[in-house]
Structure 1
Amino acid sequence: MNRNKPNSSQTPDKVTYFEVNEPAELMSFLIEALPSRGRNAIKSILARGQVYVNDKAVTKYNHPLVPGQQVSIHYAKVTEPVKMIGVHILHEDDDLIVIQKDAGLLSISTDKENELTAYRQLIEHVRSTNPRNRIYIVHRLDRDTSGVMMFAKNEKTQQALQNSWQESVLERTYIALVEREVKKPEGTITSWLKENKAMVMYSSQRPEDGQLAITHYKVMQANRDFSLLEVNLETGRKNQIRVHMKDIGHPIVGDKKYGSKINTIGRLGLHARILAFEHPTTGKTLRFESKIPDKLLRPFQERKQ
């Protein structure tokens, strides 16, 4: 429809400008503005960071446009994607980023050392389109725990998630490889967690003596030497699963800090498999699930062979 077609102008430095006259999503706007280019070509232009809205790079196809804004396409400018190590982005929108973190990578540095972390890499990622962008911590995974976690992209989202964490998070499921066969097929562990001077968490059975921690588990596979558990957190305390597995006499494989005597898989046997939550802005339920690492399944595959 020609009456909706944006006015454009071409400048010598290979930048094309378009004025927004009606509310629209960015992708549909570009399809109409660039009739000679196919949908895939337009997606590539977006992904390379060549599309700007009011002089700010935008890569999301559903970015909302309002009358009076200016869209520009910088044909000579390509924003190379940041190459990340141990981090895979599962979802990103204007408010948050959901990632899968590999075992061995810190979520965020706890000291002043210039160590590679998920946080540092995501900072570089969001600043590739705008140097003023930031990342905010919502929760953490231990260095040697792999799996799904999320970060906020603004302080408002961070506060909304942290203030309503128990209500917003609908599911947090872990996979734990523990020592020896767990005889009881499922169970619930309840205690109050405290931290000693050596920064090691431990359980108290006295009510209110520490932070209440509730862990539910089900046995997925088991043999004489190992058990693979599905673990659901009702609360999210520091080292909660690691302490509770020690409490029932089945420490997580490779967890020397909490009583493990073996490390046949070369890593901590803990993986954050599922994270489901209510988006703090849209109210929609988002659910992310990652594959169980092969190393956690290996003790059962080797036994079958």
Structure 2
Amino acid sequence: MNVKKRPKAHSPASSPKNDATELVVGEPTELLAFLLASLPGRGRNSVKSILARGQAAVDGRPITKYDHPLQPGQRVTVSWTKVDRSGGDKLVGLTILHEDDDIVVVHKEAGLLSIATAQEKELTAYRQLSDYVKRVSPSARIFIVHRLDRDTSGVMMFAKSERVQQLLQNDWKDAVLERTYAALVEGAVRTKEGTVKSWLKENKAMVVYSSPKPDDGQLAITHYKVLQSNDRYSLLEVRLETGRKNQIRVHMKDIGHPVVGDKKYGARGSSLGRLGLHAHVLSFRHPTGGKTMRFESPIPSAFLRMFKEK
């Protein structure tokens, strides 16, 4: 296939910071085949995603059909700026930060379930992403890698195949280079830096607690550092060495400073209107490429407002 590029067109391998790549069709073909030949650095699923998101335009008109016919001389523009979805395609409480053939990294807002239980059938991050990938390929699937509590916001990662899910989960401790949370807790934390270590267990009421006996339960290690503090609240940077269920919430209760809004684990009030926990940074080695990737979601402004002078 003879593909002629405009002299000033961005290279398909160029930085995502470039707005678009413009290509000229050299011979009769179809849109998907043309893009696969013209964007050699991208896999088939990645190119299908570009089409599904409306990022490919033929002579200025967005086209999503794989088999759209192309004729010599037509211009195909691939936009590297994500197209805002509307209507039924719009993701609710969820923003895609990164997507490739193996993983999807998202920002989840507080209030959205990661995945439903047998009793809960409402809209979830998992269900929305499953629908999202099926619009590109009906056989596509999404696999959960780790979870955030309903009222915890921030960075989450999903796998696009069971193989990649297993690669990540089996090597989670070594693959994850940084997993940092912002925690708004009650009271002034006097120790500026500290580590909480305990063995966690769960009772029949599904409440997790630290066992008084060493080696009784799952080992959990949490490191924290005070970022801001006043008489009523402290904002902590919390780094997880282990990733147990409700680990931060239990450990904050253990040091006498429960997470704001967390009545399950001892919080007295709910002045924030949500849980004061946010998955701030997730850094990891890509499960297939090995490249180090880092994603950061800003600390919610509602957390920071608690420290403004009144």
- Which band: TM-score by shorter chain? 0.7 to 0.9
Report the RMSD for the aligned CA atoms in angstroms.
3.1
TM-score for both structures, normalised by structure 1:
0.79
Q: In the comparison of the two structures, how many residue pairs are matched?
A: 266
Q: Compute the displacement of 1:48 (Å).
A: 5.6
2:40 aligned partner, one-letter code = E
- Residues 101, 21 of structure 1: CA spacing in aligned structure 2 closer, same or farther, 3 A cutoff? closer
Question: Hey, what does 1:9 align to over in structure 2?
Answer: 28
Question: Hey, what does 1:300 align to over in structure 2?
Answer: 307
Alignment of 1:1-305 (within 5 A): 8-9=27-28, 25=40, 43-45=55-57, 50=64, 52=66, 82-301=89-308, 304-305=309-310
Separation in structure 1 between the aligned mates of residue 32 and residue 132 of structure 2, nearest angstrom:
26
Q: Compute the displacement of 1:8 (Å).
A: 3.6
1:111 aligned partner, one-letter code = A
Q: Compute the displacement of 1:112 (Å).
A: 4.3
Question: Hey, what does 2:22 align to over in structure 1?
Answer: none
2:64 aligned partner, one-letter code = Q
- Residues 196, 268 of structure 1: CA spacing in aligned structure 2 closer, same or farther, 3 A cutoff? same
- Residues 16, 245 of structure 1: CA spacing in aligned structure 2 closer, same or farther, 3 A cutoff? closer
Q: Which runs of 5+ in 1 are unaligned?
A: 28-41, 54-59, 63-78
TM-score for both structures, normalised by structure 2:
0.78
Q: Compute the displacement of 1:51 (Å).
A: 6.1
- Residues 143, 7 of structure 1: CA spacing in aligned structure 2 closer, same or farther, 3 A cutoff? same
Separation in structure 2 between the aligned mates of residue 270 and residue 21 of structure 1, nearest angstrom:
42
1:199 aligned partner, one-letter code = M
- 1:179-210 C-alpha deviation (Å, 9 max, x unpaired): 00000000000000000010100002422100
- Residues 214, 49 of structure 1: CA spacing in aligned structure 2 closer, same or farther, 3 A cutoff? farther
**SS of 2:89 mapped into structure 1:** coil
- Kept in 2, the 8 Å contact 1:179–1:253? The answer is yes
- 1:16-66 C-alpha deviation (Å, 9 max, x unpaired): 685799796178xxxxxxxxxxxxxx953399663639xxxxxx999xxxx
